[in-house]
Amino acid sequence: MSPLALLYRCADALRYRKHGDLGQRGEDLAHRYLRRRGFTVIARNWRPPQGGGEIDIVAWEGETLVFVEVKTRASGQLSAPERDIDAEKMYALRRAARDYIRRAGADETQIRFDAVTISGGRIEHLRDAFAARSHPL
């Protein structure tokens, strides 16, 4: 194990020992995972000022602006984390993404919605988890 990985593990143990926030821990793991794979994370837990949703992670992968939904499950839970991304959640994510794109002046033709699921310590990255093109922003 690298010294940096050991440092992250110790920091995580201290941070989550008291609160045990599974969702926050999952977002931290997803953030590190994406960075290791070359993504440039530019925002976490971004909310439009008028409300109406939250984007867990906003990142660039090359020329593509990626909005990432993170779902975390404890190892003992039966349902797959990605099942919680229903039509209502997708609508809220698209709405928040539309606001982010407008404020950032980004090109809405160069976006993607991904999901990172964490279950039992296993991380899975679902690229283009739900197509932005099938339901216009």
Closest CA to 47 of 97, 3, 4: 97
Each residue of 117-126: pLDDT tens digit? 998 778 999 9
Each residue of 97-112: pLDDT tens digit? 999 999 999 998 999 9
> What's the one-letter identity of residue 66?
V
CATH topology of domain 22-126: Trna Endonuclease; Chain: A, domain 1 (3.40.1350)
Per-domain residue ranges of the chain: 22-126
Task: Please tell me which residue, 120 or 132, carries the higher pLDDT value.
Answer: 120
**Residue 26, exposed/middle/buried by CB under 10 A (0-12, 13-18, 19+)?**
buried
Residue 87: the pLDDT is 84
